Amino acid sequence: MNEKCLTKTIRGSLLLICCLSVFTAAAQLRIITGRVLDANIRTPLQGVTIKVAGGGQAASTNNLGEYSIEAKTGDLLRFNFLGYDPVEIVVGKESAYDVKLIRSTESLDSVVVVGYGTQRKRDITGSVTSLSPQDLQPGPAASFDQMMQGKVAGAQITQTTGAPGGNVNIVIRGINSITGGNQPLYVIDGYAIGAGGSGSDVSSFNGNSYSSEGMANNTASKINPLSSINPSDIASIEILKDASATAIYGSRGANGVIIVTTKKGKRGSPTVHLEAAGGFQNVANKLKMMNAQEFAEFHAEGRDNAWVYAGGNASDPNDVRTGGTRVRPEFRNPESLTTNIDWQDQIFRTAPLQNYQLSTTGGGESVDYMVSLGYYNQQGIIKKSDFNKYNMRSNIDIRLSNRLSLGVSLAGSYTHGNFARAEGHLGTRGLIAAALANSPAMPIYQADGSYSSELLDPLGVLVENPYLILDEFSDKRNSANIFTNNYLQYNLLDGLSIKTSIGVNYVTGSTRLWKSSQIGEWGAKTSPATAGAHNSALLNWLNENTVNYTTNFGEDHKIDAVVGFTAQKESLNMLQAGAMDFPTDLIPYLAGGNVNAGTNYITEWAMLSWLARVNYSFMGKWLLTGTVRRDGSSRFGINNRWGTFPSASLGYRLSDEEFMKSLSFIDDLKLRASYGASGNNLIGNYAHIGLLGIVPYVGNGQPLLGVTPQTLANENLTWERSLQTNFGLDLALFNHRIVLTVDAYRNMKKDLLLNTLLPAATGFGSVTQNIGELENKGLEIALNTRNIASGSFQWNTDFNVSFNRNKVLALNTSSARILSSAYQATQVGQPISSFFLLEATGVFKNWDEVHASPLQHPNTQPGDLKFNDANGDGRITDDDKTFVGTPWPKYTFGFNNQFTYKSLSLGVSLTGSYGQKMYFQGAEIIMNSAGVQNQLALVNDRWRSEENPGNGFVPRAIRNDYARGIGINSRYLFEASFVRIRNVNLAYKLPSNIFRSKLPAIDMFADVSNVYTFTDYPGYDPEGSSTGDNIAASGIDYFSYPLPRTFTLGIRMNIR
């Protein structure tokens, strides 16, 4: 099919349309009128387009739902309205026709995208949640994943960082893997782009910036890869949760599948959609820190106690004390302090945000198109951080002939931004830690105008001025994404079609890091300047070939089948470099220094798959689905390279039975059951191969490279298998005023990919093996109700709640304990990555309590922390670490309300999560009671004396860790349950009659996101986690970039 041919076809169709117009003009036209109402709530619908088929008149309804259009008998009138199923009527003798439209989402005939095809909602037998644009959070967002929060039963969606463009984790039906990835598979318009995560764990980011080697290898990602998909382009998102739905994705389906479908062109005259929004953000929750007076008192107390501990007297002057126990003279008299700075105000700001979207859709006889452009700009609430995004997309479908069609989807995005050195310890110059720990009594500037800092002051807080960190470190990133997927489809016979597609996803990323010599480490004021640069290019191609067959046998039997073959390969080319020895700080590039560290490598995977699915329906009442996929993957050992993943499911529409017909309030009742297998292949590309690594050494005064075995070969390595059982119920009552979906599931994970620890005598630390089992079981309930639907006032509610229990059933040995972080361990009988810590049970209030307790340190005294002697040996040692909670919620929920009064609507969304804990690593600094850094104000409630024992939780201030008060223990572990007012959105639909012209739909909206969070968690945000998409180390907050509260105003316009 060449261009000429295409033009011909278009011309031909145009001609045809002209002819038809001439023909229709000859008949008798008259005025047809009527009203269009919502089928359920019987309210008038405004802005419904009515068209005479064949290109005649067009009209739209007014705010009373009334229309009037010229047509003649025999004409076909098409009623179209976004979010509703289209309706066609044939004009008869009457001249008035009232029409009722059914909302697409509730209509059982609406189509749901599933893997390799679509299904009617009524025929679905698996567990699938479908979101339309109306369901997504209305305010502007950098990526669609954060808009899904609180909308999907069974998915725990966590925004771990407030950094613009930052990471969002989606965990479907509980954490699934200890060593393998836990991200779902993302499928964009049929193209499986892979699991979302990209290595955004920033917990060691700062520490890696002090050598050229560290800079070269500091590849933690800070741009959410899913931000390349423009939220405004999305037509629907389907979340596939059980094996019946995911098994068609075989070895990649076990963590669930998220299918994103972008908007397509629609036949009809062009519609231009314009959206513009702007607003600002500020920090949603500032921590309450000690003021200068409280800090001075605390500082003196901590040092006096340490000096007394060392054998001195609290009244001793500084010159007889040792360094760490000396007290700033002016802090002896806190009232005299005049400076009182909240350093948080120095790093945070109110930051603007803007979002512009322009798109047009339309189509003719042979070509449908959707073209969009988007620009998004967000300044960070931490100074000097920002994020910019440009998106373009064209989806074009062309009918070459009755049987042959082809489609082109082309999308590009470019993001760039500046990122903050927000997280981490103040010793490695984490910005937030520096701001919180800094002395509130220190002025910002010295007398000479330079930044002040107590870093070199033996009596000061060993922390750098946050302004210096802002000035002397930079992290610039950009990423470009080009995605194209093209198909050719041929209908061999009615019901039999073949389709072949080929697509390419090309993603490049570039990072430039710079740390000037002014940023030192720990107590060093300065350190050699370093720079790093990373360039990545990822090429992923996919070829899919499928055959679809749909047929009916008689009236009652319907079959819909697909078989296919796919091939996919990905190649990532990384170039990393680091430089040191900069003669000056003037050139913040590699070029300014001595490039002496780096690497370049290509890492690849390839996959071949066969797939098949059959849907069989008997009288529309009994529904059967069977799928199978066979995958071969380069990631696994030669002995286990191919795996088969089958599933079967059954649906029974009880409401279609005769005996149910009398219960007329039941619109729909369907029971579902499914069982099947899917897999998880998210491990490194070459885990099965025995590799040798380069180790540096020194010979003859020169660096020398040696070689040493690094990984043990395991040719039996294969996927994790997930055996999933799901029982579901769909119920709709009272004309869909109540719609309920309930799913109960049990996922058994076998052959877990585990880094089995090896005895050191083998020369290897661990090997990835298929050992172990775990279980996730849970219950999901989604309830949509139309509470009030009287006339002009409506109130709709969507509520969903998900319960999940995770339990490890087997590891390589029954006593094996896998440490997923310094704070978390996985053990049989416990959920994955449970917190495993020395359990602080309070503070010794007096000597009696000390004497009555197990032996701690020989010098333990009142005011010190009390620990649980978990192993009961009468001593407190590291062997007393015990399980003290998990980062996994017992349940999560979303509660979304929509109130509509005439043209005004108000949406209020709540999300919540209960039962999880968060290790506030930052509290090791700002709650450590050491008498050094500034503390949370709640440390004012510390133990001070037997008479004044505080809240029984915060130990006495002392600059000595003999009593384990400062180091890691459970007192930094907090309940992180929360209820969040996620979003409040007020929208006003302008009445169309204020414009005489055909500008039917203008919406104005005001939106507040992250409005307020009810929680006991003392950090910035109970979801903030510095471990990013390292889901197995979730729940560790080392001052994660706080979530902003966002206020936006915007306008949306549809021009026809």
Partner 1 sequence: MKKYIVCVALSLLFLSSCNNFLALSPEHQINENNFYKTEADFENALVGVYASFREIYTHEIFYLAELTSDNAEVSISSSSVAEMEFDEMNITPSNTIVQGFWTKVLFTIARANILLVRLEQSDLSMESKARIASETKFIRAYSYFLMVQIFGRSPITHGEFRSPEDIANADLSLKSLEEVYTEIIKDLKEAEELAVDDSQEDKGRVSLGAIQGLLGKVYLTRHQYTEAIHTLGSLIERNVYSLEPDYKTLFSPGNGNTKESLFELKFISGFNQGNEYSVLFTPASTGLLANNQQGSGRITPSLDLMDAYEEGDARKKASVGDTIRPNGVKEYSRHGLKFVDLNAENPRDGSVNFTVLRYADVLLMYAEALNEDDDVNGAQAYLNMVRSRADLEGVEISNKEDMRESIAKERRLELAYEGHRWFDLLRTGKTQETMNAFFVGKGLNFTVQNHELIFPIPRREIDINPELGQNEGY
636 or 893, CB closer to partner 1?
636
Is residue 701 a contact residue for partner 1 (CB under 8 A)?
Answer: yes
Phi, psi of 606 (to 5 degrees): -140, 155
The number of CA neighbours under 13 Å toward the Cβ of 8 is 7
CB of 745 to partner 1, least distance (A): 32
Per CB under 8 A, contacts with partner 1 among 281-320 are 306
How many residues lie near partner 1 (CB under 8 A)? 100
Ramachandran category for residue 306: left, alpha or beta (phi over 0 → left; psi -120 to 50 → alpha): alpha
Pairwise CA distance, residues 1040 & 68, whole Å: 58
Per CB under 8 A, contacts with partner 1 among 841-870 are 858
Per CB under 8 A, contacts with partner 1 among 617-646 are 632-634, 638, 641
993-1001 CB contacts, 8 Å cutoff, 24+ apart:
993/62, 993/63, 998/60, 998/1056, 999/1053, 999/1055, 1000/47, 1000/49, 1000/60, 1000/1054, 1000/1056, 1001/47, 1001/1052, 1001/1053, 1001/1054
554 or 759, CB closer to partner 1?
759
Per CB under 8 A, contacts with partner 1 among 1004-1023 are none
Per CB under 8 A, contacts with partner 1 among 929-948 are 930
Is residue 709 a contact residue for partner 1 (CB under 8 A)?
Answer: yes
Binding range to partner 1, per CB under 8 A, among 417-425, 591-599, 742-750, 1039-1047: 591-599
Is residue 402 a contact residue for partner 1 (CB under 8 A)?
Answer: no
For partner 1, the binding residue among 98, 848, 961, 1016 (CB under 8 A) is 961
For partner 1, the binding residue among 86, 324, 412, 460 (CB under 8 A) is 324
Q: Using CB under 8 A as the criterion, what x/- string covers residues 876-895 for binding partner 1?
A: -xxx----------------
Per CB under 8 A, contacts with partner 1 among 35-74 are none
Alpha-carbon distances of 750 from 178, 642, 723, 810, rounded to whole Å: 12, 16, 8, 9
CB of 1032 to partner 1, least distance (A): 19
Is residue 923 a contact residue for partner 1 (CB under 8 A)?
Answer: no
Q: Using CB under 8 A as the criterion, what x/- string covers residues 545-574 for binding partner 1?
A: x-x-----------------x-x-x-----
Q: Provide the terminal-to-terminal Cα distance of the chain, rounded to the nearest Å.
A: 31
The number of CA neighbours under 13 Å toward the Cβ of 661 is 4
Per CB under 8 A, contacts with partner 1 among 510-549 are 520, 522-528, 545, 547
Is residue 323 a contact residue for partner 1 (CB under 8 A)?
Answer: yes
CB of 179 to partner 1, least distance (A): 15
Tokens standing for 807?
Answer: 């339990």
Four-point Cα dihedral 983, 986, 987, 991, nearest 10:
170
Q: Using CB under 8 A as the criterion, what x/- string covers residues 785-824 for binding partner 1?
A: ----------------------------x-xxx-------
378 or 770, CB closer to partner 1?
770
449 or 759, CB closer to partner 1?
759
Pairwise CA distance, residues 289 & 294, whole Å: 9
Is residue 219 a contact residue for partner 1 (CB under 8 A)?
Answer: no
Pairwise CA distance, residues 757 & 74, whole Å: 77
Is residue 607 a contact residue for partner 1 (CB under 8 A)?
Answer: yes
For partner 1, the binding residue among 67, 298, 605, 972 (CB under 8 A) is 605
Pairwise CA distance, residues 210 & 513, whole Å: 11
Pairwise CA distance, residues 805 & 890, whole Å: 7
Binding range to partner 1, per CB under 8 A, among 189-197, 345-353, 584-592, 700-708: 700-708
Burial letters 607-645, b for 16+ CB under 10 A, else e: bbbbbbbbbbbeeeeebbbbbbbbbbbbbbbeebbebeb
| DSSP codes of every residue in 17-65 | HHHHHHHHHTS--EEEEEEEEETTT--B-SS-EEEETTT--EEE--TTS
Handedness of CA 65, 236, 146, 672 (dihedral sign): positive
For partner 1, the binding residue among 10, 235, 373, 498 (CB under 8 A) is 498
Closest by CA position to 51, among listed 347, 290, 323, 269: 269
Say if residues 1000 and 60 touch (Cβ distance below 8 Å).
yes
Binding range to partner 1, per CB under 8 A, among 382-390, 885-893, 954-962, 1026-1034: 954-962
Pairwise CA distance, residues 484 & 456, whole Å: 56
Per CB under 8 A, contacts with partner 1 among 430-459 are 456, 458
Pairwise CA distance, residues 64 & 67, whole Å: 9
CB of 419 to partner 1, least distance (A): 25
Is residue 581 a contact residue for partner 1 (CB under 8 A)?
Answer: yes
Burial letters 719-750, b for 16+ CB under 10 A, else e: bbbbbbbbbbebbbbebbbbbbbbbbbbbbbb
CB of 689 to partner 1, least distance (A): 5
Per CB under 8 A, contacts with partner 1 among 716-735 are 716
For partner 1, the binding residue among 5, 14, 492, 663 (CB under 8 A) is 492
480 or 498, CB closer to partner 1?
498
Q: Using CB under 8 A as the criterion, what x/- string covers residues 675-694 for binding partner 1?
A: ----------xx--xxxxxx
Per CB under 8 A, contacts with partner 1 among 751-780 are 756-765, 767, 769
85 or 213, CB closer to partner 1?
213
